[in-house]
Chain A
Amino acid sequence: MFQPKYKWYDNFTTLTGGLIILGAIILVYVLAGLNGSFGLNNPFERFTMLKTLSEFKWMPLLIIFTPAVGGGIQLFFSRKTCYSRDTVVIVMSFSTILMTLLMYPTALDGGQLLSFPGFLGLGLSLKVDMLSLVMLLITSILWFLVMVYAHAYMIKEKRCNRFFFFMALTYSSVLGTLVSADLLTMFLFFEMMTITSYMLVTHGQKEESYSAGYNYIFMGLLGGFAIFVALVLMVVYVGDLSFTSAIVALQATGSIRYWIIGLLVMGFGIKAGMAPVHVWLPRAHPVAPTPASALLSGIMIKVGAYGVLRVATSYYFPVKNTVDSRFDPIWLTSETIGFSIIWLGMITMAIGVFLALQQSNIKRMLAYHSISQMGYIVMGIGVALYLGYYGAMGFAGSLYHIINHALFKSLLFMVAGSVYLHTRENDMYKLGGLWRKLPLSATVALIAALGISGIPLFNGFVSKTILHHGIVEAYEYGHASFRYAEWIFIVISAGTVCSFIKLYYYVFLGKMPDIYKSIKPKLNSLDVSMAAIAMMILFIGLNPSLILDLFIIPELRVISYDPQFINTYIVGMSVFTVSDMSIMVPIVILGFLIFIAGTKFHLFHLKLPGWLRIEYIFFYPSFHLMRGACRLLYGDQCPIDKKEYFKMDIKHNYDVGFLDRFVVLSHMFDKRFEKKIINSDALIYTILITLVIIIMMFV
């Protein structure tokens, strides 16, 4: 009987390889044409049909529904083979890239508003402007490549039909979040994303995935409710939810404006893994199947950052061309917000790197690095807000870093997955010398590691340099305390360098354990997709101005930043200057020093005391309250389950979460009081009626 062999030249790999090459050609052609390099003309002017298609009104809706419909078709095809199912997946994701590219000209003009009045009460609306387009493009490209990877990775896993189905739904909701033009629409898709991606996190169906998933969904819901409250406040105090300037109305609300942005930052920040609400991230990302963790870390946390960026720069910024000075009092609100967001970003960066250095599980370490890198992005957003009129640098930096981090972090996760697939091992101390066995993985891992460390000629350098410019401007134009922020920035970058030296050293260099001698690597679609992402990292690293010119600067010009500032500092900006590159020298040296010191003094195996855990600090009072309540109800005897009651008594709350204890408390309360309440039926009526009479008569 014919069994489809798992060979590198199977039909699927041929198809995907062909599609990737086709996609690369189209991308290069379109981008180069738009940029006018190689003597190519703008393809949208050359082919009028493309221009007409680009003005197709329903395009945003189409792009949302493509993956969802694909999900349905997948389910139909999945009855036959996984090959036909995955072909549908690949074709659907590929077509979203094309659709995104098609929308470039309209996005350049500010985008077309597609509104659906009456839906969900207040009406929904979609719009693709430049910021959305950048996010859409990186999302669709990465999703496509990860889907190529997922085919080869998931083929050995169980329940892939469910996985791909929910992947498609998650994709739909991510795209929806990115194209929405008002807060309600964004919230709708954001919540859908939380729910659908939950199925990806818990896909493994192991005990740890349940607990991580539980953490994920409840944090996600909490974030959703934070946005919900902000939404209610916005409706009542501002009235207009579309992403346009609302600062005049907001200034009239007094302190409510800080509540609104605080709740929104909390809501989106939970998804973005911002400290101190990042606790779910290092648990959820590692337990998901690798393609899912690549996308969770690569795309989904960026959606949170995108949310903050979007709401802050639309609601809290004045209308374009109405202000022409950075000292206008209208900027005061965003300055205050930006100040706190910068420091939030700093804390996030520091916590992420510090905890990443302590990890031995590769995926966990990468997850902590996601937190740390999100700190960079959040800091950039902070600068974009803090400097107000002059904040363009921070905006550009954070947007650029969103793109770059998406690329190298998903690549790193994919490498981790590839290593895991061959060795079934996630602990970096148990690996070593794998470069001989997995040369391609080792090469792309090197590229990604150099990218994340911010070495010149790789993409991370570009965005980190812009972010560095941003923070320098923050103390030049603003508060002096950001001088320290810059130092922290440098130290954290060194920590990143160190931690990737460590990762690379322990996984790919050094001595190989004997059990891995028998690995026989094969070239397959895993490698194809990884190589494609590595190429993109290099491409951006070598042509940093392409993305700036084509995407980021047009977006900056839409926002009410100083056009003079953009022209002077960002247009034609070159990151390869001596002063910028020389910063990397101390960073790399410091990174090496930390690595050597760490291995010498075993600093990477520090066990932190339990009370330093964020959860512990958060829930400490509530634990004591609940335990006290239980003692009050029952003393030391336990009438229910000994095991249940024991949960209330465990000192370390890592094993027993807040919710578990809450459920136990409710069980105890119920056991103790429910029957009594029910049996005292008429008494309650009597008491209530007497009470109400007393209240009414005497108040």
Chain B
Amino acid sequence: MNLVNDILAHVNFIGAMALFVIGLYMVVTHSNLIKRIMGINIMGTAIFYFFIAVGNVEDGAPPLLDPDGNALTFINPLPSVLILTGIVVVVSITVYSLSLVVRIYETYGTIDQKEMAQIEAEDDD
């Protein structure tokens, strides 16, 4: 029972870790460039999730100006703020890598990393 409670108490963290591993798995196993980018995005999401989960306070109210004044605890707003920046960064990286994929498709004619490696090897010879 203890174990279940522990898991339930940390479900956010475990979920974040699981997402991270899924993303990593995608990056490692797939040779399709777009899928790899998706993997990286999943990894990023995992970490954002983790970060926000850190800021979570149980039974906390959203950190807004409270007209009623009856909320005692607030959720820590700082992680959310940081993660907003983080999301922007990851989006821009994603956009950039997708544009690179377009270029790669134009020059190599493929977006599969294995085929790219083959083409490069042929070019070298």
Contacts and interface: CB of A to CB of B under 8 A. Distances in A.
Nearest to B39: A682
A679 B113 CA distance: 8
Main secondary structure, interface of B, reads helix
B27 interface: yes
Nearest to B121: A675
Contacts of A682: 24, 27-28, 36
Contacts of A675: 117, 121
Interface in A642-699: 675, 679, 682-683, 686
Contacts of A683: 28
Contacts of B113: 679
Interface residues of A, number: 5
Interface in B90-116: 113-114
A346 to B, nearest CB: 56
A679 B28 contact: no
A683 B114 CA distance: 14
B125 to A, nearest CB: 11
A675 B122 CA distance: 13
Contacts of B121: 675
Which of A682, A683, A686 has the most chain B CB atoms inside 10 A of its CB? A682
A639 B114 CA distance: 21
Nearest to B120: A675
Interface in B53-90: none
Contacts of B27: 682
A404 B28 CA distance: 72
A223 B27 CA distance: 49
Interface string A554-597: 00000000000000000000000000000000000000000000
A679 B36 CA distance: 13
Nearest to B31: A679
A679 B24 contact: no
Contacts of B114: 679
A672 B117 CA distance: 14
A675 B125 CA distance: 14
A686 B28 contact: yes
Contacts of A679: 113-114, 117
A419 to B, nearest CB: 53
Contacts of B24: 682, 686
Which of B24, B114, B121 has the most chain A CB atoms inside 10 A of its CB? B24
A686 to B, nearest CB: 6
A290 B121 CA distance: 50
A683 B113 CA distance: 14
A686 B26 CA distance: 12
B107 to A, nearest CB: 18
A679 B114 CA distance: 8
Interface string B1-32: 00000000000000000000000100110000
Contacts of B28: 682-683, 686
Nearest to B30: A682
A145 to B, nearest CB: 57
Contacts of A686: 24, 28
Interface in A32-59: none
A521 B121 CA distance: 64
B45 to A, nearest CB: 17
B31 to A, nearest CB: 9
Nearest to A687: B28
A682 B36 CA distance: 10
Given A679-B113, A683-B28, 6 more contacts: A675-B121, A679-B117, A682-B24, A682-B27, A682-B36, A686-B28
12 contacts: A675-B117, A675-B121, A679-B113, A679-B114, A679-B117, A682-B24, A682-B27, A682-B28, A682-B36, A683-B28, A686-B24, A686-B28
Interface of A: 675, 679, 682-683, 686
Kindly list the 4 A-B residue pairs having the minimum CB-CB distance in the complex, ordered from nearest: A682-B27, A682-B28, A683-B28, A679-B117
